[in-house]
Amino acid sequence: MNKREFLKCLTITGASACIASTGAIGNELISAMDDLNTDNQGEREASHYVVTPRGVKCLICPNECTLKEGELSDCHNRIARDGKLFTMAYGNPCAVHIDPVEKKPLLHFYPASLSFSLATAGCNFACLNCQNWEISQTSPTKTRNYQATPVQLVDQAIRENCKSIAYTYSEPITFFEYMLDTATLAKSRGIKNIMVSNGYINPEPLLELCKVIDAANIDLKTFDEEVHLKLTAGNLKPVLETLKTFRKEGVWLEITNLIVPSWTDNFDVIARMCDWLAQEGFNDYPLHFSRFHPQHKLTRLPVTPLQSLTRAKEIALKAGLHYVYVGNVPGIGGEDTYCHSCKVLLVKRNGFEIEQNLIVNGRCPKCQTPVPGRW
Amino acid sequence: MTTPYLLIPVLIILLILYGISLLFSQLEVYNRLTHRKIWNYSLLVTFLTTGILGILMAIQINYKIEVPWTEKVLKVHVNFGIAMTIIAFFHLLWHLRYYLPFKAFSGKSPRPGTRIQKQVNIPGFLLPFMVGFTAVAFQTLVIRELLGLFSGNEFILSIIFFLWLTLTGAGAFAGTRTNTPAEGTRLSKKTIYLILALASMPVALIPLLYFLKSLFFSPGIEAGPAGLSGFLFLILLPFCFLNGFSFTYSVKLLRPSGMTAGGAYAWESVGSASSGFLMTLAILLGIFSGYPGRWAERLIHPNEEIIQTYSGVSGRLTVTRTGEQVNIYENGVLTHSSGNPLTNEELVHFTLCSHPDPRDILVIGGTCTGITAELMKYDCHRVDCIEPDPQVIRTAKKLNLLAEGYPNINYLRINPFHHLISDTATYDVVIVMLAGPQNLNLNRYYASSFFALARKHLGHSGMVTVMLPGTANYVSGNALDMLGPIYSAARKSFGQVALLPGENNYLMASDEKWTIDILHTLQERKIQTTFIRPGYFDENLLIARKSEMEQLLNQVFTANEEFRPKAFLGMINWWIGQFPLRLLWIFGAAALFIILLTLVGSKPESNAMFLLGAGASGLQIILLFLVQITAGTLYLFAGCLPAIFMTGLATGSWCFLRKRVGKILSSDTFIWLLFSFSGLLLLVISEWLAHPSGMTGLKTVLIFLISFIAAFSNGAVFARLASQPGDHANPGRIYAYDLMGAALGAIVFPLALVPLFGIKLAIGVISATGIVSLGLTKLVRKRS
């Protein structure tokens, strides 16, 4: 190869590589442009942000995205415009259903009541096994949305005889302002507020929420930092802090741990998690072990074997946790509530139905031990 | 990656690259000095990167500077450090004499270009023959394994072919740059080494594939297009590059002996054809049924006990155990876990409770899931069970996965379409329990022709229920693009169609109206269930969600057909939508890259070959698609169809060289237009090919014939272009352009033309490439 041929080859290769890279970058630009739908009716100025020399910094969750003009946040819901941060998830839920409260799962919170459940698109995690990935890994500009102001939501919940409104499905932290306004109004009108969340939120907005949220179900995905990061793209510590804050602020709390084979089914880790919960005073807060089903990017794993769930439950009870449940596995009584003192069966459940509830004034009828919860 | 630092991957990659570099220096692609320069520069780069990052981290730690990227920097520092150490070890081997002054290491190496090659008494044609033989052998085995590991769909297949052909073409380009002295009719020792390297790579790379898969992808992860492409690039690089290089190298090597490029091409094609036939026979005889073995499955399912694994003509069936739970995987995708009856209950009870008196039932798919036990809760006279791949039933029986003790259950080992066409049985209910329209074979079960065929076998109030992927709490646009065409396809044959959303979605179609009254019916019939009962199942919610679904589907969707596989394309889009990437842009850029690389400054003959290569590749892929549609299996034909194609190539090339085709037949116009004719023939009979009217044998023969004709034309064109006098006819370059064009065709046709315009128009465009290619050649002749 002479010099001329070499230079020609190099030029062609370089030009082609640039074009290929442009294609890749162009892909990102197209994605970003799609997200910047200026016709989005759900847009309003966000709370909890600060303007820095590098851009607008969101302070809602530990991701703390710093956004330049027109840039979208990691949760797909916030955008920087004219030196301010705007949320695109306000008044535009994409999923609205009425569910039994046991489905959240909340078993110690007004059992047998209905919960008006909603979500907008967006999430500050990127869980590999997300059941709702079609709404969590996208922005409200790309989903088919309803239009519902907080007033309309609360009115609808009352009309449907719902005891509570649940902010769920995707990640309610990412529609913080919408949730906060709706919850404030709902509280004033006697409707309870439930948050089903990953708990990945900064302390200041969390404290604000604690004033209006009555109950929370937090997903404690795993107690292993590295696995947590690989599975969710988020850190574990802020979630643990959220649990502590909820407890301290008196918000009713139930914790869910999804056992994913090969990822979060290490029983030593589960034991450490249960020990931590017991040491930090979460003995009276229900812990739910739930069964994994192949979803999203984790489709080449089996469902969680029943033995894994029952063994996890044994570990949790041994660690000193009083109310441990195995969800959605009929026939094993996994969701029945027992008095942790005298072991009498207090609440017998058949799926989402209550066959028997012996709790009187929040106590065991036999030994009068308080049964924590909101009855 | 499952480990923080890339110790093993870096080691493997560097060993492979070093091996290739060393081989090239031995084969005098470049001299030893260049080989050492490459690795000197690599050592310098890794050393500087490791050192500079190390110093930066030292500064950061010493002076407590807060930076967010510390962890990333550490990872890069360590990984480059690993690379540096390995490369340093190579250098140590070069200078071993310096450090260990033993006599064994003394002695001078010959100057570059002065090596006297020891000749071995092995005929020269063996090299091109082995190139072809190993290529098809590797292709057959690798495609089978890759489709089993990464979903067996045509999209993945296109990516594989694109990378395969690009890398082979790049190797072919490299082969044209060698300065090797010609060897004559007998081969030198180092050429024998090359042949051995080619022959051993398929055996070595398949196990490596599993090992690297377990290394690069965490357990259970669905690989996205980008990750998949990168992984495939790594796996295919060593063999494909070497294979491409070996062909053009062999052309130069054997020229003095009188063997022309066309002759080498013919021997290569003979090797490919032989390999293809042998591999097909081996697959049919089940020789590869246990390959690569349980150890490989253990890598993919690390925390499961592998009970059994079997590779059949339609893919791999793997049975594992976790505790007492038995799990079944078909081509790597979980189809059933015992102890989780929800799907079986929904599918069976939603359907049978909607029929007044279900007695005779046909179940397509789901044999291994225990659905038959659920059906037996009803008073059924007859339950016929069929699988798209009849082999699955045989395997399931061997593995004791079939429900035993029910005399009225019949497991039919016949293709479902053949059964529906040839049998006159009438059913009350037809249930389709498959994985969704994930590939063109499965897409047939969601097409209007299937619904029409099933309807002919239904009795009064008969019903068809088809299971579809679930959509949880929200139905996205992509999901609708999959569901809508299937809904429209069913509406063409049935008056009443509804979609019930549960754990999965269930499309139910009948001519009679029905109401949802599941819980009451179960109670009346005294049927015990685990999930579909009060407390767990909310019938009112089901009805409400059904109405929501009807509103969403109340728009015009093009009905799903075999030749306009809208549901399949919707499914692919839905899958891609999980990953933050628009693949079309990446491959569009890659396609442009290929075009630029090959066309800028090239000769018109090369362009003509490029275009014809693109058309031929596109035609082969569409023929593979059609094989899926007609014969229902890709795995069996993964070796067979390339073999037919290669036979055609060899024959065309040989006929032209030996001038055995007569005056008329040897004209330019004829051999080019022969290619267009093959495309037009396919276009004319395509509808008949896709129609489920049986005659699979005849249809398969016609597909082979079309493949042969197209390949014959391609081979003759190559031989003509490569044998022209002057500088235009650089055979190696023409071969490389052929491959590059084929790589482009492998992407453009299946990923652009077919999705946008349908299979028929894509075939039309393919036919036109023959005419345009001819036009280019005529243009050159006219100018000269």
Provide CB contacts within 8 A for B85, sequence distance 6+.
none
**Same structural domain, A289 and A372:** no
Chain A, nearest residue to B176 by Cα: A1
User: Using the beta-carbon criterion (under 8 Å), do B535 and A301 form an inter-chain contact?
Assistant: no
**Same structural domain, A232 and A351:** no
Closest partner CB to B473 (pick from A132, A262, A305): A132
Hey, of A134, A309, A335, which one would you mutate to test binding to chain B, going by the most B CBs within 10 A of its CB?
Answer: A134
Provide CB contacts within 8 A for B433, sequence distance 6+.
B347, B363, B364, B365, B366, B369, B371, B467
Q: How many CB pairs under 8 A join A and B?
A: 165
Chain A, nearest residue to B303 by Cα: A262
In-domain check, residue A191: yes
ipTM of the complex model: 0.86
| Least confident span in A48-57, B102-111, B166-175 | B102-111
pLDDT digits (tens, 9 = 90+) for B49-95: 999 999 988 988 888 877 667 777 888 899 899 999 999 998 888 88
- The answer to whether residues B577 and B482 touch, using CB atoms and an 8 Å cutoff, is no
**Same structural domain, A361 and A311:** no
User: Using the beta-carbon criterion (under 8 Å), do B586 and A23 form an inter-chain contact?
Assistant: yes
What CATH number is associated with residue A196?
3.20.20.70
pLDDT digits (tens, 9 = 90+) for A242-259: 999 999 999 999 999 999
Q: State which of B514-528, B677-691, B741-755 shows the largest mean pLDDT.
A: B514-528
The residue-averaged pLDDT of B332-346 equals: 84
Residues of A in contact with B325 (CB under 8 A): 302-303, 305-307
Residue B425 is given by DSSP the state -
pLDDT, mean over chain A: 90
- Interatomic CA distance for residues B13 and B231, integer angstroms: 12
- Interatomic CA distance for residues B369 and B346, integer angstroms: 13
Name the more confident of B663 and B16: B16
Residue listed under structure tokens 């295919």: B236
- Interatomic CA distance for residues B737 and B592, integer angstroms: 14
In-domain check, residue A131: yes
Q: State which of A20-24, A351-355, B211-215, B692-696 shows the largest mean pLDDT.
A: A351-355
Q: By the CB < 8 Å criterion, does A29 face chain B?
A: no
In-domain check, residue A22: no
Hey, of A76, A92, A169, A300, which one would you mutate to test binding to chain B, going by the most B CBs within 10 A of its CB?
Answer: A300
Residue B621 is given by DSSP the state H
- Interatomic CA distance for residues B441 and B433, integer angstroms: 14
pLDDT, mean over chain B: 82
Distance from CA of B454 to the nearest CA of A (A): 31
User: Using the beta-carbon criterion (under 8 Å), do B220 and A349 form an inter-chain contact?
Assistant: no
Look at residue B543 in the predicted model and tell me its pLDDT: 93
Provide CB contacts within 8 A for B407, sequence distance 6+.
none
Residues of B in contact with A299 (CB under 8 A): 220, 222, 333-334
Integer angstrom CA distances of residue A4 from A9, B179, B600: 9, 18, 14
Residue A38: pLDDT band with limits 50, 70, 90 = very low
Q: What is the DSSP string of B340-383?
A: --HHHHHHHHHHHTTSSS--EEEEES-GGGTHHHHHTTS--SEE
Closest partner CB to A351 (pick from B222, B325, B536): B536
Q: Is the pLDDT confidence value at B106 over 70?
A: no
User: Using the beta-carbon criterion (under 8 Å), do B323 and A97 form an inter-chain contact?
Assistant: no
What are the residue ranges of helices labelled H in B63-188? 70-94, 96-99, 126-149, 154-175
Residue B19: pLDDT band with limits 50, 70, 90 = confident
In-domain check, residue A23: no
In-domain check, residue A81: no
- Interatomic CA distance for residues B310 and B287, integer angstroms: 11
Closest partner CB to B324 (pick from A133, A143, A305): A305
In-domain check, residue A69: no
- The answer to whether residues B31 and B195 touch, using CB atoms and an 8 Å cutoff, is no
User: Using the beta-carbon criterion (under 8 Å), do B535 and A351 form an inter-chain contact?
Assistant: yes
Q: State which of B222-226, B556-560, B732-736, B767-771 shows the largest mean pLDDT.
A: B556-560
Look at residue B110 in the predicted model and tell me its pLDDT: 46
What are the residue ranges of helices labelled H in chain A? 3-35, 133-136, 150-159, 176-188, 203-210, 225-232, 237-249, 267-279, 306-319
| DSSP H/E element including B739 | helix B731-748
**Same structural domain, A309 and A372:** no
- The answer to whether residues B336 and B330 touch, using CB atoms and an 8 Å cutoff, is no
Look at residue A25 in the predicted model and tell me its pLDDT: 52
**Same structural domain, A274 and A372:** no
In-domain check, residue A48: no
- Interatomic CA distance for residues B310 and B318, integer angstroms: 6
| Least confident span in A108-112, A262-266, B224-228, B663-667 | B663-667
User: Using the beta-carbon criterion (under 8 Å), do A296 and B578 form an inter-chain contact?
Assistant: yes
Look at residue B314 in the predicted model and tell me its pLDDT: 61
Look at residue B598 in the predicted model and tell me its pLDDT: 64
306-325 in chain A: CB under 8 A from chain B: 306-308
User: Using the beta-carbon criterion (under 8 Å), do B596 and A12 form an inter-chain contact?
Assistant: yes
pLDDT digits (tens, 9 = 90+) for A328-340: 788 788 999 999 9
Q: By the CB < 8 Å criterion, does A4 face chain B?
A: no
Q: By the CB < 8 Å criterion, does A190 face chain B?
A: no
- Interatomic CA distance for residues A85 and A88, integer angstroms: 10
Calculate the CA B144 to chain-centre distance.
8
- Phi (first) and psi of residue B670, to 5 degrees: -65, -50
Look at residue A215 in the predicted model and tell me its pLDDT: 98
User: Using the beta-carbon criterion (under 8 Å), do B536 and A263 form an inter-chain contact?
Assistant: no
**Same structural domain, A344 and A278:** no
Closest partner CB to A20 (pick from B320, B476, B589): B589
User: Using the beta-carbon criterion (under 8 Å), do A12 and B600 form an inter-chain contact?
Assistant: yes
| Least confident span in A244-248, B531-535, B758-762 | B758-762
Closest partner CB to B578 (pick from A133, A226, A265): A133
Provide CB contacts within 8 A for B106, sequence distance 6+.
B97
**Same structural domain, A278 and A369:** no
The residue-averaged pLDDT of A270-291 equals: 97
Closest partner CB to B221 (pick from A100, A143, A300): A300
- The answer to whether residues B511 and B494 touch, using CB atoms and an 8 Å cutoff, is yes
Closest partner CB to A95 (pick from B474, B530, B597): B474
Hey, of A27, A267, A310, which one would you mutate to test binding to chain B, going by the most B CBs within 10 A of its CB?
Answer: A27
Neighbours of B120 (CB within 10 A): 12
User: Using the beta-carbon criterion (under 8 Å), do A30 and B578 form an inter-chain contact?
Assistant: no
**Same structural domain, A350 and A239:** no
Residues of B in contact with A265 (CB under 8 A): 303
Instruction: Give the percent of chain A with pLDDT over 70.
Output: 89
pLDDT digits (tens, 9 = 90+) for A132-163: 999 999 999 999 999 999 999 999 999 999 99
Hey, of B217, B337, B533, which one would you mutate to test binding to chain A, going by the most A CBs within 10 A of its CB?
Answer: B337
- Interatomic CA distance for residues A224 and B76, integer angstroms: 23
Residues of A in contact with B479 (CB under 8 A): 134
Q: By the CB < 8 Å criterion, does A24 face chain B?
A: yes
- Phi (first) and psi of residue B223, to 5 degrees: -75, 135
**Same structural domain, A327 and A349:** no
Closest to A138 in 3D by CA, of A28, A29, A35: A35
**Same structural domain, A224 and A318:** yes
Residue B107: pLDDT band with limits 50, 70, 90 = very low
Residue B352, token pair as written in the block: 């049978």
pLDDT digits (tens, 9 = 90+) for B150-195: 866 777 888 888 888 888 888 887 777 766 555 555 566 777 777 7
Distance from CA of B650 to the nearest CA of A (A): 32
Q: Is the pLDDT confidence value at B1 over 60?
A: no
Neighbours of B190 (CB within 10 A): 17
Residues of B in contact with A98 (CB under 8 A): 541
Residues of A in contact with B334 (CB under 8 A): 294, 299-303
Instruction: Give the percent of chain B with pLDDT over 70.
Output: 85
- Percent helix, strand, coil in chain A, to 5, is 35, 20, 45
- The answer to whether residues B780 and B605 touch, using CB atoms and an 8 Å cutoff, is yes
334-373 in chain A: CB under 8 A from chain B: 349-353
Integer angstrom CA distances of residue B516 from A212, B508, B521, B527: 40, 11, 9, 16
Residue A326, token pair as written in the block: 């195995």
Q: By the CB < 8 Å criterion, does A19 face chain B?
A: yes
Residue A251 is given by DSSP the state -
User: Using the beta-carbon criterion (under 8 Å), do B473 and A22 form an inter-chain contact?
Assistant: no
Neighbours of B109 (CB within 10 A): 7
Q: By the CB < 8 Å criterion, does A55 face chain B?
A: no
The residue-averaged pLDDT of B277-303 equals: 78
Look at residue B20 in the predicted model and tell me its pLDDT: 78
Q: How many domains does chain A have?
A: 2
Calculate the CA B443 to chain-centre distance.
17
- What is the extent of the structural domain holding A371? 336-375
The residue-averaged pLDDT of B95-119 equals: 55
- Interatomic CA distance for residues B559 and B564, integer angstroms: 8
Name the more confident of B488 and B255: B488
Q: By the CB < 8 Å criterion, does A229 face chain B?
A: no
Residues of A in contact with B600 (CB under 8 A): 12
User: Using the beta-carbon criterion (under 8 Å), do B333 and A27 form an inter-chain contact?
Assistant: no
**Same structural domain, A272 and A144:** yes
Buried b / exposed e along A36-66 (16+ C-beta atoms within 10 A): eeeebebbeebbbbeeeeebbbbbbbbbebb
Looking at the DSSP assignment, which residues form a beta bridge with residue B467? B506
Beta strands B186-188 and B119-123 are antiparallel
| CA end-to-end span of chain B | 57
In-domain check, residue A127: yes
- Phi (first) and psi of residue B321, to 5 degrees: -135, 135
Distance from CA of B225 to the nearest CA of A (A): 12
- The answer to whether residues B161 and B227 touch, using CB atoms and an 8 Å cutoff, is no
**Same structural domain, A122 and A241:** yes
Instruction: Give the percent of chain A with pLDDT over 90.
Output: 82
- Three-class DSSP category at B329: strand
266-285 in chain A: CB under 8 A from chain B: none
Three-state secondary structure of B192-228: HHHHHHHHHHHHHHHHHHHHHHHHHCCCCECCCHHHH
Look at residue B183 in the predicted model and tell me its pLDDT: 54
Residues of B in contact with A296 (CB under 8 A): 222, 578
- Interatomic CA distance for residues B130 and B267, integer angstroms: 9
- Phi (first) and psi of residue B333, to 5 degrees: -100, 130
Residues of B in contact with A167 (CB under 8 A): none
Q: State which of A84-93, A346-355, B206-215 shows the largest mean pLDDT.
A: A84-93
Q: What is the DSSP string of A41-89?
A: TT-EE-SSEEEETTEEEE-SSTT--EE-TTPBPTTSSEEEETTEEEES-
